[in-house]
Amino acid sequence: MKLYRNAIILAAVAVLLLVIYLLPAGKNRAGNHPYQNNDGTINLLNIDLDKVNEIDIDNKNNKLVFVKKEDGWALAEPSGIKYDQSVADGLPLSIFYLASVKTIDEKSNDLSEYGLDHPSVISVKTVDGNFNTLKVGNLASAKDGYYVKVNNGGKIYIIDRDKANSILLTKTSVKDKNVLSFNRELRPRMLADDIFSVTMEKGGTTVFSARKNAADGVWSMTSPVKGNIDNDMISPVLNSISKVLAKEFIAENPPDLDRFGLKKPAYSLEFENSTGRKKLLIGDEKEVGNEFYAMVEGVNDIFSLSEAGFDYLDKPLREF
CATH code where residue 126 lies? 2.60.40
pLDDT score of 21? 43
Whether residue 12 is contained in a domain is answered as no
pLDDT at 79 over 90: yes
Same domain, 77 and 144: yes
In contact, 166 and 184? CB cutoff 8 Å: no
Q: What is the pLDDT of residues 155-203, one digit of tens each?
A: 999 999 999 999 999 999 999 999 999 998 889 999 999 999 999 999 9
Whether residue 35 is contained in a domain is answered as yes
Same domain, 121 and 196: no
Residue at a domain's end among 134, 167, 200: 167
Among candidate residues 141, 103, 97, 137, the one with its CA nearest the CA of residue 117: 137
Q: Which residues contact 295 (CB under 8 A, 6 or more apart)?
A: 260, 262, 280, 281, 283, 301, 302, 303
Whether residue 102 is contained in a domain is answered as yes
Same domain, 241 and 291: yes
Band of the pLDDT at 207, cuts 50, 70, 90? very high
How many domains are contained in the chain? 2
Q: Which residues contact 112 (CB under 8 A, 6 or more apart)?
A: none
Same domain, 140 and 23: yes
Whether residue 177 is contained in a domain is answered as no
Instruction: Please write down the long-range contacts of 263-266, taking CB distance under 8 Å and 24 or more positions apart.
Output: 264/203, 264/204, 265/201, 265/204, 266/202, 266/203
Same domain, 156 and 257: no
Helix (H) or strand (E) holding 273: strand 267-273
Q: What is the pLDDT of residues 265-295, one digit of tens each?
A: 999 999 999 999 999 999 999 988 899 999 9
Q: What is the pLDDT of residues 12-36, one digit of tens each?
A: 445 444 444 444 444 444 445 676 6
Domain span including residue 219 = 188-319
Q: Which residue has the higher pLDDT, 254 or 7?
A: 254
Whether residue 248 is contained in a domain is answered as yes
pLDDT at 54 over 90: yes
For the entire predicted model, the pTM comes to 0.78
Q: What is the pLDDT of residues 92-132, one digit of tens each?
A: 999 999 998 788 888 878 899 999 999 999 999 999 999 89
